[in-house]
Amino acid sequence: MDVTRRDLLRASSHAALLSLVPAAARAADPPAAIQFDPAQPDGVREIATLEALPGKKPLIKLSYRPPNYETPFSYFDQLWTPNDAFFVRYHLAVIPEVDAQEWRLKIGGEGATTPFELTFDQLNRDFEQVEIAAVCLCSGNRRGLFQPHVPGVQWGQGAIGNAKWKGVRLKDVLAKAGVKKEAVELRLDGADSPPLEKTPDFAKSLPLWKALDDTVLIATSMNGAPLPHWNGYPARIVVPGWTATYWMKHVISLELLTKPLDNYWMKTAYRIPQGKFPVVQRFLGQENDSNAPITEIMVNSIISNLSNGQRVKVGQQVDIRGMAWDGGYGINSVEISTDGGSSWSEANLGDDPGRFSFRPFSFRFQPKNSGKAVIVARASNKIGQTQTAELIPNPAGYHHNVMQRVTLDVGA
């Protein structure tokens, strides 16, 4: 008997889950506790609140239906983003609470020779288990810092997280289905669904060569624990080095296609202008003359332990810490400027957990004069890509990787 989305529901939507949580827990802290960036639009300040979804610590709520909650800035001063503080991103409002024992993963399509279906137990028992450290980054992270502002969820710094993902290689599961030579893409679909028939279902595709990459997983755990409900339980796709639009949550269907997927989420959404970004891994089958699907993450960094306006004293030792990341080529260096970019010094890089992970960096300095000290971080990767000094405009507000600046107030 086929398992449908309706069979998977134990709660009709995330609203049913929220009703189980006391109001005090859902809004435990006042909005004033949120660290807003001066570049964020006024509207964000009016709507953003700290609110705890079931199983989560208070996160910054930017929308409720669908749920879009970002991780507070303070969590990025640690290498691994806690599961209960990991950001939440959905496009559709009907989000089932999936029972792992009832979950089924269908693998088929015109490009498969032997379609089949997997239970959760079979997925974990019949294939080799592997673990990989990787940054999960919403394509629109820092969209709210674009000038001029662009439409979309007005994310600050927090639509990102770093975790150790464990599961099975996607290519091992596809091998059991048999990949025909005519196959060109893999369609991914999850258990979430739109509230209205006219709303397009959120389905994405990967180019076949990427789907067969050794690093792409069907993950069932993160940071040594089962996936949280809000991060894709019981299984999700993990595509290290690529933005999270391809990291399908609550995955229930893998379909090998013999022609490119033609839907809203591939042909209209999540696209960037041709030639503006230094993209190496391209999705050629979905490109046109003017734009292309977003794919790999751009090199970037964040100063994690300092905030604008923070006060320090002349001669005080100031520790600068942060995280750097890229699309998997590996961080080569992080440079720090304490004078707004006029001069640069190399920061110390911490241990390397893997080429797709956050890479910690640190730097110490002692301000010699009172006034403003403008701290800037600049990350570069091993293929020569470096963070930009100026924003690269694009209609959807993707790939914001401008060097971060933090201004300290230095007193006598």
Chain segment 217-251, per-residue pLDDT in tens: 999 999 999 999 999 999 999 999 999 999 999 99
Residue 8 to residue 151: CA distance in whole angstroms: 33
Judged by DSSP in three states, 261 sits in: coil
**pLDDT above 60 (res 5):** no
Q: For residue 411, which amino acid is it?
A: G
Cα 357 to Cα 212, 282, 299: the distances in Å are: 20, 21, 12
Burial label for 55, CB within 10 Å (0-12, 13-18, 19+), is middle
Residue holding tokens 């006034």? 371
Kindly list the strands in the beta sheet with 371-381, ordered across the sheet, starting from the edge strand earlier in the chain.
311-313, 405-411, 371-381, 331-337, 345-346
- Mean pLDDT for 180-194 is 97
Q: Specify the pTM.
A: 0.92
**pLDDT above 70 (res 295):** yes
Neighbours of 343 (CB within 10 A): 10
Chain segment 250-281, per-residue pLDDT in tens: 999 999 999 999 999 999 999 999 999 999 99
Q: What pLDDT score was predicted for residue 87?
A: 98
Domains of the chain: 104-137+162-293 (3.90.420.10), 300-411 (2.60.40.650)
Full DSSP string of 324-392: EE-SSS-EEEEEEESSTTSS-EEPEE-----TTS-EEEEEEE---SSEEEEEEEEEEETTS-B-BSS--
% of the chain exceeding 70 in pLDDT = 92
Full DSSP string of 100-130: TTT-EEEEESTTBSS-EEEEHHHHHHHS-EE
Query: pLDDT grade, residue 406 (50/70/90)?
Result: very high
Tell me the CB-side half-sphere exposure of residue 354, using CA atoms within 13 A.
16
Are 390 and 402 in contact by the 8 Å Cβ rule? The answer is yes
Are 241 and 297 in contact by the 8 Å Cβ rule? The answer is yes
Burial label for 27, CB within 10 Å (0-12, 13-18, 19+), is middle
- Mean pLDDT for 286-301 is 98
How large is the C-alpha radius of gyration of the chain?
Answer: 22
Exposed e or buried b per residue across 153-184, where buried means at least 16 C-beta atoms within 10 angstroms of its C-beta: bbbbbbbbbbbbbbbbbbbbbbeebebeeebb
Q: What pLDDT score was predicted for residue 306?
A: 96
- Mean pLDDT for 196-217 is 96
Six-digit token string for 296: 């790999």
Q: What pLDDT score was predicted for residue 197?
A: 85
Q: What pLDDT score was predicted for residue 94?
A: 95
Q: What pLDDT score was predicted for residue 7?
A: 40
Kindly list the strands in the beta sheet with 88-89, ordered across the sheet, starting from the edge strand earlier in the chain.
49-51, 59-63, 68-70, 88-89
Neighbours of 258 (CB within 10 A): 13
Query: pLDDT grade, residue 6 (50/70/90)?
Result: very low
Q: What pLDDT score was predicted for residue 412?
A: 86
Tell me the CB-side half-sphere exposure of residue 233, using CA atoms within 13 A.
16
Residue 58 to residue 84: CA distance in whole angstroms: 9
Please tell me the chain's helix, strand, coil percentages from 3-state DSSP, rounded to the nearest 5.
Answer: 15, 35, 50
Cα 33 to Cα 106, 235, 285, 298, 333: the distances in Å are: 44, 34, 46, 30, 33
